[in-house]
Amino acid sequence: MSQKPYVVDELISAKAIAARVEALAKEISNHYRDTDKLVVVGLLRGSFIFIADLVREIDLPVEVDFLEASSYGDAMESSREVRILKDLRGEIGGRDVLVVEDIIDTGHTLKHVLEILETRHPRRMEVCALLNKPARREAEVRAKWIGFDIPDEFVVGYGIDYAQRNRNLGYIGKVRFVEENN
């Protein structure tokens, strides 16, 4: 695969992420303190590290399930066609569902996923997204918890990829294309 050369400039440090995740988990634990029906639904693959950190800070009985929806392929722009590639294993009817997403960009992916999950009649359903790009929004979605609002930049790290790379970075950085040296 040919890939234009790029570098990653740090946008949000690992330390800042950890502090924000801890704060979000506190709010979430507080919000759900009276339920024993909480299921965290992670949207694969970008949210896997966020979920791992978030649930370890949630001080409640919690189940974890995953759903994979695809809208991007390996491109940087959303195709706006959302497909379910991998469905949940468990039932969410009558449960408190917290959908955890890596980034809300145009909003199409999340809007579509929420519509599908609503048909299964969860008791309550909320969204927690690590990152939000408000400038890019096309579809209306409400997220009760947002980690960070970020500018209209393509970002990677902390689970988030560019063409499947850079998920393993501990921080979040912006992709910056550089001239090829030859």
The correct pick among 39, 102, 130, 159 for binding ligand IMP (CB under 6 A) is 102
- Which residue in the set 21, 25, 46, 159 belongs to the binding site for Mg ion (CB under 5 A)? 46
- Closest distance of CB 144 from ligand IMP, Å: 16
Q: Which of 25, 125, 160, 169 binds ligand IMP (CB under 6 A)?
A: 160
State both tokens at 21.
Answer: 């995740």
Nearest to ligand IMP of 21, 155 (CB atom): 155
Q: State which H helix or E strand residue 131 sits in.
A: strand 124-132
Task: Report which secondary-structure segment, H or E, holds 20.
Answer: helix 14-31
CB 105, min distance to ligand IMP, A? 3
103 binds ligand IMP (CB under 6 A): yes
Least Å distance, CB 46 to ligand IMP, is 4
Comparing CA positions, the residue from 150, 115, 156 lying closest to residue 136 is 150
Q: Quick check: helix, strand or coil at residue 69?
A: strand
Least Cα distance to 168 among 48, 17, 51 occurs for 48
Q: Which residue is nearest to Mg ion (CB)?
A: 46
Positions annotated as catalytic residues are 105
Residue 168 makes CB contacts below 8 A (sequence gap 6+) with: none
Q: Which residues in 108-137 contact ligand IMP (CB under 6 A)?
A: 108-110
Tokens 């902390």 found at: 158
| Partner from Mg ion, ligand IMP, none contacting 78, C-beta within 5 to 8 A by type | ligand IMP
Tell me which residues in 46-85 interact with ligand IMP (CB under 6 A): 46, 71-72, 78
Token pair belonging to 182: 């030859």
Q: In the bound complex, what is the minimum distance in angstroms from residue 141's beta carbon to ligand IMP?
A: 8
Q: Which residues of 165-180 are buried (b: 16+ CB within 10 A; e: fewer)?
A: ebbebebbbbbeeeee
- List interacting residues with ligand IMP (CB under 6 A): 46, 71-72, 78, 101-110, 154-155, 160
